[in-house]
Amino acid sequence: MNKDPKALSDIKIHVKWKLSALWTSVMFCYVYGDFFGLYRPGKLQMLLDGRTPIGPTTQGVLLGTAALMAIPSLMVFMSLVLRPSVNRWVNVVFGALFTVIMLITMPGAWAFYIFLGIIEVVLTGLIVWYAWTWPRQVADSS
């Protein structure tokens, strides 16, 4: 086999590491989107008045939001430690769920949010794709 002497060295990255890195990237986009959202006129006043986009600020609303947003945070770690069979399905389900959530929340949003939302949809779509196409082990015939 003739190798190009100028070719750069590369390694094969396991799907678990790819999934973990994708969830990490998704979380950065979520955090930046929420942070930049605070600069929208009236947003801070809305928070100070105890209102959220879905109604009044209550412990239940904040707990529900925290529980929902804990999932991608936990998936950074869980993608590395879960057994492959469980890992695959958890990533497919949560990747698809967060893709749908982003698509529902994007219409009518400011340009920065749509920009980050498109990136998030691509990232969560890649999570679903990498998990769905997770390579199978070749059976040892010896």
Q: What angle is formed at CA 14 by the lines to CA 125 and CA 71, rounded to 5 degrees? A: 45
Q: Is the pTM of this model over 0.95?
A: no
**Would you state the pLDDT for residue 3?**
77
Cβ contact 102:118 at 8 Å: no
Q: What is the tally of structural domains in the chain? A: 1
Residue 138 lies in a domain: no
Mean pLDDT of all residues in 37-57? 92
Share of the chain above pLDDT 90, in %: 85
Which residues span the domain enclosing 119?
A: 15-132
Residue 96 lies in a domain: yes
Share of the chain above pLDDT 70, in %: 95
**Would you state the pLDDT for residue 9?**
86
Give whole-number Cα distances, 48 to 38, 45, 56, 110, 141, in Å.
12, 5, 11, 21, 66
The two three-digit tokens of residue 132, written as one number: 């769905």
140 confidence band (pLDDT: 50, 70, 90): low
* CB atoms closer than 10 angstroms to residue 97: 15
Residue 6 lies in a domain: no
